Structure 1
């Protein structure tokens, strides 16, 4: 496992732990951006918060145990953030939360691209 992968996976996991916790707790500063994207407040706990927290947990589990858990988590986060970017674009919301969604997508995609289980042989 390369130092680059471990570093990016830890940054991605930490960012998603923070973001997922904010969503589950319905952190007030994120509410206007979610509304601008047309996301109901009821979705903040599940699916948004829970999926981010599950992705972060999967990345950490992949670092500590079977690497395939990290692969699945990174792929899941890529799919999640592709949907998030699409949601913002569809709502014509180019706010700071749209930029964050792109950043989170970039982190998840980089984690997946560096994943050691995808670079066998």
Structure 2
């Protein structure tokens, strides 16, 4: 179980870190939907920082479990908000993308709690 937690945790951190990097560098495939959803540009760096902090927190969680748990919960809430944003924008075809980021965070949280039990 411990090995699975580390593998899934690293994969989730890399995946979410890539998402943060893509937003920081204003990649077209990330910012075009944000414009379409009406997310203010002034929020973009803060959103990217939140993703980056969550990804880093998942890795730190290997050494300080409470930070990993908090990071996983934060990332899950972040992407739940993203799901709500896509639904409110009636962009149902893009709702799957934040879910694809949320699932590894949920798996990381579940595995970390199982390892601690």
Q: What is the aligned partner in structure 2 of residue 55 from structure 1? A: 54
Which is further off, 108-117 or 84-93? 108-117
Q: TM-score, normalised by structure 2?
A: 0.90
- Is 1:15 the equivalent of 2:9? no
CA contact (8 A) 1:5 1:114 kept: yes
Number of residue-to-residue matches in the alignment = 117
8 Å CA contact retained: 2:2, 2:115: no
Q: CA deviation at 1:89?
A: 0.5
Which residues of 2 match residues 35-54 of structure 1 at below 5 A?
A: 35-46=35-46, 48-54=47-53
**2:84 is equivalent to residue 86 of structure 1:** yes
Give 5+ residue unaligned stretches, structure 1: none
Q: Verify: 1:114 aligned to 2:108, yes or no.
A: no
Gaps of 5+ in 2: none
Given the superposition, is the C-alpha separation of residues 86 and 93 from structure 1 closer, same or farther in structure 2, using an over 3 Å criterion?
Answer: same
Q: Deviations over 1:64-97 (max 9, x none)?
A: x21111111101101111111011101111244x
Task: Please say if residues 20 and 52 of structure 1, whose CA atoms lie closer than 8 Å, have aligned partners that are also in contact.
Answer: yes
CA drift at 1:29: 2.4
Q: Structure 1 length normalisation: TM-score?
A: 0.87
Shift of 1:54: 0.2
